[in-house]
Structure 1
Amino acid sequence: MRVFRAETSMNYVILLGFAAFALIPVLTILATSVSAPLGESGGLHLSNFAKAWTVGGFGRSLGNSVVVAAIVVTLSIVLSVLAGYAFGTMKFRGSTALFYLFLLGLMIPAEATIIPLFFDLRSLGLTDTYIAIAMPQVAQSVAFGTFWMRAQFRAMPVSLLEAAALDGAGPLRALTRIMAPAARPGILTMLVLVFMWTWNEFLIALIMAPGGRLRTAPLGLANFQGQYTAETALLAAGAVIVALPTVILFLFLQRHFIRGMLEGAAQ
């Protein structure tokens, strides 16, 4: 099919428009984060990041977020790969009904269950712990991850499993040696998404850790914003600090993320 030069130019114009729409807010925050705070002269103020880090106590909140994200991402990927492999490659009684039960985790919002869950965890003495913050997010992420990995494994040729069975490999060995490496782009895509959702989670961390000792990065930024509402430069610097780990991870795994998303869309 012949593509005219005017059509190609229009496509680039539209793409540049969307890129500008996405980048302008980011560039505005970056420019504000290095602008002059109140009462100081103009120029480039990189010291805003150090001041925001010290005053906002982001060291502790970022550390809490790293611990929570490590728990959620690790458990979610392991459980999702195992469940997706079972639903995608095996036939057993009740598999369809059980799979739709997993999908309920995608349909029920966290806001509908967070209060009863808080009272349940409080009765067990688990509030203000990493478990209370991480496990509800693991449940949410496994629901999506099972759906995602099931599609990844179902799209693979059946001949891979047949060849593994002929070589004497059991289901677990076939998963770890053949299926999981072949599904690496999908797994890394899920890793980026789950990390991003966990890092930006606000409500669960707010409700499940009322003592404030395990305040995560979004809560630390909200508390910092409440103290320095007029210091836009420091607020912008704090926002950049909180968003930086997600940006770094995405840039590091960008190629795998895009490949996994394209393969998922093709399925």
Structure 2
Amino acid sequence: MITSRARRANSTLMLLMMMALTIVPLVSMFVTALHAPGSRPSGLAWPEDLHWGNFPLAWDQANVEVLLKSSALIILGVVPVSLMICTMAGFGLGHLKLPGGGALYVLILLGLAIPFESTVIPLYYQMQSLDLLNTRLAIVLPLIGLYVPFGVFWMRGHFANMPQALTDAARVDGAGGWRLFWHVHLPLAMPALTTLGLLQFINAWNQFLLAVVLVDDPTKRTMAGALGAFQGERSTDIVLLCAGALLIMTPTVIVFLILQRYFVRALLAGAVKG
């Protein structure tokens, strides 16, 4: 029989291996970004001369400042609207038990079975018919639709586990549907809502395919679209590409560090009863 000490040792070893698999690629990118521009570094070879200027060079070459503003506008258009739709739909389907809600929920879940890549060509022609190509709305509207199925699934799971006694007590006090949602259940849903917002923020920030296919103007794309600035006709500057990728990752890391307690709290919700 495996002792508790051996079980803890196995768990620690597994966590260390997973941490190494996560950290090593980031370290490799960081080391590569410190080499001379245009060079071809191999593995984790540390450069003789550290080229810290690669980061401001990548910032200027990729026009990161403009794309930072563009990404912020896209995030502000996607995340709040998507969260509002997912939260209200999740509350209605998970707690209010609306008539026909089961069939509607299954229909929404079918969106999770559709591969994202298979929607790009239909979305292109749809945006073209709406005369929205080469605009930020061509990114915002599809992303809202793509994020709704998982968002509804996530929020419905939260509201379905909320005690019915809360709703009954609020009903006795005269609370209607809107007051019940806004003043009773929404404050309790903040960990789940914050986690969903964080996931949607990361996905929208790193969106590359839709930004490249639906928008020709590089200044209207997401930050991930800046990576194409380091690709020439015959070659790609690997060093500046790594420096630019690290710059693009920085905002998502900062946001995650700020909201990590909500993320952990939402993931652990329901793990401990009572």
- The residue that corresponds to 1:113 in the other structure is 119
Deviations 1:5-42 (A, max 9, x none): 23322321221121111111111212222334358x83
CA distance in 1, matches of 2:78, 2:239: 32
- What does residue 17 of structure 2 align with? 17
> Residues of 2 paired with 1:179 and 1:141: CA distance?
22
| CA 1:127–1:230: 2 relative to 1, 3 Å | closer
Q: Does 1:129 align with 2:135?
A: yes
Aligned to 2:263: 257
Contiguous gaps of at least 5 residues in structure 1: none
Q: In the alignment, is the contact (CA less than 8 A) between 1:38 and 1:231 conserved in 2?
A: yes
Is 175-184 or 220-229 further displaced after alignment?
Answer: 220-229
> 1:262: how far off?
2.3
In the alignment, structure 1 residue 85 sits paired with structure 2 residue 91: yes
The structure with the largest helix share of the pair is 1
2:84 and 2:213 map into 1 onto residues whose CA distance is: 26
Q: Which residue of 2 aligns with 1:31?
A: 31
1:148 aligns with 2:136: no
CA apart distance, 1:95: 1.2
CA drift of 1:242 comes to 0.9
Task: Name the TM-score, length of structure 2 as normaliser.
Answer: 0.88
Residue 182 of structure 2 corresponds to: 176
Gaps of 5+ in 2: 40-46
**Is the contact made by 2:86 and 2:151 (CA closer than 8 Å) also made in structure 1?**
yes
1:236 to 237, 242, 255: 242
User: How many correspondences in the alignment?
Assistant: 266
In 1, Cα distance between equivalents of 2:151 and 2:238:
38
CA contact (8 A) 1:65 1:217 kept: yes
**Per the alignment, in what secondary structure is the counterpart of residue 231 of structure 2?**
helix
| Cα distance in structure 1, aligned partners of 2:272 and 2:75 | 29
Identity %: 38
1:73-112 Cα shifts (integer Å, max 9, x gaps): 1111111001001001123322111111111221112322
Cα distance, 1:198–1:265 mapped onto 2, change above 3 Å: farther
Give the secondary structure class of the aligned counterpart of 1:113.
helix
Shift >4 Å, 4+ stretches = 227-230, 264-267
What amino acid is aligned across from residue 11 of structure 2 in structure 1?
A: N
CA distance in 1, matches of 2:111, 2:201: 18
Structure 1 residue 167 displacement after superposition: 1.5
Please state how far the C-alpha of 1:3 moved relative to its aligned partner. Answer: 4.5
1:193 partnered with 2:199? yes
The 3 A distance-change label for structure 1 pair 2 and 47 is same
8 Å contact 2:33–2:240 — kept in the other structure?
yes
Structure 1 length normalisation: TM-score?
0.91
Does 22-31 or 208-217 show the bigger shift? 208-217
Deviation at 1:117, TM superposition (A): 2.5
Q: 2:70, 2:219 within 8 Å by CA — same for their partners in 1?
A: no
**Contact between 2:95 and 2:162, CA under 8 Å: does it hold in 1?**
no
Q: CA deviation at 1:266?
A: 7.5
Return the letter of the residue paired with 1:63. K
1:208 matched residue in structure 2: 214
Q: Is the 8 A contact 1:32 1:233 kept in 2?
A: yes
Q: 1:2 to 1:167 in 2, by over 3 A?
A: farther
